[in-house]
Structure 1
Amino acid sequence: MRAASGSLFGLAYGDSLGKPTEFQEYASIVARYGPGGPRQLVGEPALVTDDTQMALAVGEALLEVGADVTPAALEPVLRRRFLAWAASPENDRAPGMTCLRAIGLLADGRPWTRATQADSKGCGANMRVTPVGLVPGLTDDQRAGVAQFQAALTHGHPTGLAASELTAYACLWLRNGLAPADLLAALRDRCSAQRKVYRGDWLGELWQRPTVTSPEDFIARGWDECAAALDRVEAALAKGDHAGDPCLATGAGWIAEEALATALYCYLISPHDPVTVVGRGAASSGDSDSIACLAGAFAGASLGLSAWPDEWQTQIEYADRLFRLGGAWD
């Protein structure tokens, strides 16, 4: 089945299809591609955005540290790989300003808690977290800690942390055989169970803000906002009519919980048709590449690499790096 490869390639495929539609109005997208959005990769190679580039940075950091998945081991590796991405000449795909600001501060060696953008919950927190859900052998505490930590290096808002954990666990559960129809309930249960769990061994004193009274109250805000976003997905699916701009139903995706919600919505409309999933994610008026890349990661985790068109594997940018990670984790 090669589910890890399916998810990683699905992320890149969605990212590439959403690259030209980001910042476009829905009517303009439909006029060019139809309501199903783009359904063919374009270019040799088909270029991706910073979403895939940063997901590769996270995945390759995890591959580098191997079994030593601790904050002390992972932080310098993630820092180094984020800095390398920021300095790369290939970092020319309209990268997010939050990531660039935070990484610029990381570059001078300061503690990451002083570099992170404390009030940002932009989708850059969870667009890159898919590998955390796919790497095998982690305990639940490690996986949740890494998912939040990789977000926290740049995006310090509790909702960015919670949305990243949910995104990683959606990929994990789908890879392990969870039925798509059961995914929303599982994510809601995770919100409830983790609502007051602050992972201090990974996050340190990140919670300390002028108006926050405890670490539990800090993280609960993130889980509550994510739970509300999942409610919107459930309501949108229940309407039955899924035509039109998905961003009108579940949010534009510029912030973490909306990127998760709209990606889930696009995925759960047609979970057994991955090309339709990523096309629909790309046919959105908001952060189209991030929405489509997360939707593609979900579809690929569930259906595996063979569900995607074979010819896309040799067309997509960074195929060699995607194969390396997928091969290590399949």
Structure 2
Amino acid sequence: MSQPAGPGPHFVPRKPINPRFEEDLAFRSVSGPDRYAGTTGLPVRYVAVADAKGTVTGYVWANDEDGAAGQIDRGDAGNQAVNLRPRLDDAKARGLAPVAALRELVAAAGPGRLVAGPLATAPHLRLLDDLADRPAPERRWSAARGALVGLALGDAMGRPLSTLPLDRITATYGTWSAMELPLYDGESVRVSDQTQLALAVAEGLAEVAVRAPLTEAEARHSLTTRGALPAPPWITPGAVAAALRTHLVRWLRAPDNDRSPGRTTVDACTALAGETPWQAASALTSKGCAGVVRAAVVGLAPYLSAEQRAGVAQLQSALTHGHPTSLAASDLAAHAVHLLAHGCPPADLLPRLRAHAAASRWTYRTDWLGDLAVRAGAASPAAFVAAGWDECLTALDTVATAVAAKDPDRDPGAAVGTAWTADEVLAAALYAFLITDARPRDTLRRAAHTSGASAATAALAGTFAGAHRGTANWPREWQGAVEYRERLEVLGTRWDFVTRD
């Protein structure tokens, strides 16, 4: 058929298509090596995989009950990942059980193979995804806003109770399950310095953790080698330390810094206002709870890699509280908030935190901490941090034992300890969150009604509850009454928005 002359589209007559091009060419595997099952819902034995330089590039795992074994590479390993899958296939062909095959790999470990040592156990494969820094599932909508508001609400509920013994709390406010948010002047509910300092850290971090545009080539390279966008190169220890230092000094000099803050924090921030290195300002023997509550907001910041999140959490604690237990507890608090915000079931939280602690036990983050361990007089940087992780691992075990008793009427202080230290406040907050089945309002009540540090415990527990459930379970009248509501909601809404971009 001829086409009309003149401007316009020119249609070319379609030629007949060879029938062979319309055949079903879908790939079907008809043969291949017999392999172990690639997944399991049961606990697994695992060991780290390292390259020739000793850098961990992933984990190889096995489970006999399901006949399963496999390898999980770190998200940033790229072409450096050591591939041990062919050796697993060979072991399967020789009839070895999965765990026996794993032990055989460990026995033959050498440079560029496995990290020698006993096999570790993980309750499920998701823990290895955490350790390997695989891309996390999409974050819950309103997780940041819910967590920040929850922190302030818990702080406000616990503030008037912090100096009271348990019998006075009960006599004045009733049982824990009947408590409501206390109103001070009928218009606003005042928080303590816990919320003020958490805002200082969050707003300082927000100045640094902003999204920088990537070129198409950079994004494509990262997606093909890592499976996700790269860790932001502009979030450096120097930039974060400078921003946090500025905001902590600004808090120190603010007219509303009238909530009787801890002497350790005040002295450290006073020193930060000078020219001294921040490591010299840190209270190296203090493991007070201020750092662990502030650290919770780090778990909400967008774009951080797992390494950056741990580094920032420890750094912000070390600026004031340099004891290794404070560093480890802060790292765990940020990790817990991150996990909950990305859909971690509460029942899985303690095992995943324990796996993170065990994997981090000998890791001293020199880039973020500098010569802190040397100033503390530690035998070695690794020994310095290990002491803190050991205390936190003990605290997590205490929480697990207390939660297993299933007695929500048991005071968090009686369950895990009443000290105002980072590890015990973290333990008390986790206990209150888990013993109430993660119901946000009950979590706040249970955390505040304690013989321990009421404000710090309830603030941290409120962050966990808000990260897990968002804002839906915070009563509107509570959200509208809390002090600093505008700053909390602006920051939280922005972080929620950019995370979903």
Who is 1:47 aligned against?
Answer: 190
The unaligned stretches of length 5 or more in structure 1 are none
Q: Does 1:65 align with 2:217?
A: no
CA RMSD of aligned residues (A): 1.2
* Amino acid paired to 1:26: L
The unaligned stretches of length 5 or more in structure 2 are 1-140, 211-233, 497-501
Q: Work out the CA distance in 2 between the residues paired with 1:240 and 1:190.
A: 25
- Deviation, structure 1 residue 35: 2.1
Q: How many residues align?
A: 330
- In the alignment, is the contact (CA less than 8 A) between 1:19 and 1:49 conserved in 2? yes
- Deviation, structure 1 residue 196: 0.5
**SS at 2:163 equivalent:** coil
* Amino acid paired to 1:53: Q
- In the alignment, is the contact (CA less than 8 A) between 2:443 and 2:461 conserved in 1? yes
- 1:82-97 to 2 correspondences below 5 Å: 82-97=248-263
Alignment partner of 1:32 out of 167, 172, 180: 172
- 1:237-256 to 2 correspondences below 5 Å: 237-256=403-422
- Deviation, structure 1 residue 185: 0.4
- Deviation, structure 1 residue 241: 2.4
Q: Taking structure 2 as the reference length, what is the TM-score of the superposition?
A: 0.64
Q: Does 1:176 align with 2:349?
A: no
Q: Deviations over 1:9-39 (max 9, x none)?
A: 0000000000100010001111122221632
Q: Work out the CA distance in 2 between the residues paired with 1:171 and 1:200.
A: 24
- In the alignment, is the contact (CA less than 8 A) between 2:395 and 2:416 conserved in 1? yes
- In the alignment, is the contact (CA less than 8 A) between 1:4 and 1:329 conserved in 2? yes
Q: Work out the CA distance in 1 between the residues paired with 2:389 and 2:295.
A: 17
Larger relative helix fraction: 1
Q: Which runs of 4 or more aligned residues in structure 1 lie more than 6 Å from their structure 2 counterparts after TM superposition?
A: none
Alignment partner of 1:147 out of 295, 310, 313: 313
* Amino acid paired to 2:195: T
Who is 2:74 aligned against?
Answer: none
Who is 1:286 aligned against?
Answer: 452
Larger relative strand fraction: 2
- In the alignment, is the contact (CA less than 8 A) between 2:374 and 2:381 conserved in 1? yes
* Amino acid paired to 2:448: A
Tell me whether 65-74 or 112-121 shows the greater mean CA deviation: 65-74
For CA contacts below 8 A with separation 6 or more, give which structure has more relative contact order. 1
- 1:131-210 to 2 correspondences below 5 Å: 131-209=297-375
**SS at 1:19 equivalent:** helix
Q: Taking structure 1 as the reference length, what is the TM-score of the superposition?
A: 0.97
Q: Work out the CA distance in 1 between the residues paired with 2:209 and 2:409.
A: 44
Q: Deviations over 1:265-295 (max 9, x none)?
A: 0110113421111011110112100000000
Who is 2:441 aligned against?
Answer: 275
Who is 2:142 aligned against?
Answer: 2
- In the alignment, is the contact (CA less than 8 A) between 2:201 and 2:316 conserved in 1? yes
Q: Work out the CA distance in 2 between the residues paired with 1:266 and 1:27.
A: 19
- Deviation, structure 1 residue 242: 3.2
In structure 2, the CA distance between the partners of 1:272 and 1:218, relative to structure 1 (3 Å rule), is: closer
Q: Deviations over 1:38-85 (max 9, x none)?
A: 322413210001000000001101111134321111112111111111
- In the alignment, is the contact (CA less than 8 A) between 1:8 and 1:130 conserved in 2? no
Who is 1:11 aligned against?
Answer: 151
